[in-house]
Amino acid sequence: MSKGMALVGIIILGVLTLAVVNIVQNYQTGNELDYYLLEETTEAAMLDAVDSSYYRVGGVIRMDREKFLESFVRRFAQNVNRDRNYKIRILDLNETPPKVSIQVGSSTVATFAGEDFDIVNKIDAILETKYEEDRLLKEVYE
């Protein structure tokens, strides 16, 4: 009887270990994927929001605030993991020079003792050019 109980104990311990490993792996890979998604989405949304007519007239790169927010939210929503809850915070957004600070928090459905564990990623991005004279917009993107 004691050998049977030991076998049941080992099986329960194995199942619990697999559950803990699965939860830890979910958080680790989720954090990495969220960071790269945030980075790529921010870069693409900033390039989408560049006001090319303002650049042609004044020679200064300017980002349209509304266009950036719309592009960022749309791109981010298309690529997120559906089993996570996301909270997007725009910490700072400048049009000239184009600068944005974004914080994205995500949490899974797993909770421990009623507490959610949020993974928070923050990125600061600045879009700038090294050119002082007027250039074509396609040269700035290269």
46-99 pLDDT per residue, tens? 999 988 888 788 777 889 999 999 999 999 999 887 777 888 999 999 988 889
111: confidence class by pLDDT, cuts 50, 70, 90: low
Contact 89, 72 (CB under 8 A): no
Q: What's the pLDDT at 57?
A: 81
Report residue 82: phi and psi, to 5°: -75, -15
Domain that holds residue 18: 2-141
Residues 6+ apart with CB under 8 A from 19: none
Structure-token pair, residue 21: 């490993």
Q: What's the pLDDT at 19?
A: 84
- pLDDT: which is higher, 69 or 116: 69
Domain count, the chain: 1
123: confidence class by pLDDT, cuts 50, 70, 90: very high
Q: Tell me which H or E stretch contains 5.
A: helix 2-48
Q: What's the pLDDT at 32?
A: 80
Q: What's the pLDDT at 97?
A: 84
- pLDDT: which is higher, 22 or 43: 43
Q: What's the pLDDT at 107?
A: 77
Average model confidence (pLDDT) across the chain: 82
Cα separation, 43 vs 99, in Å, equals 11
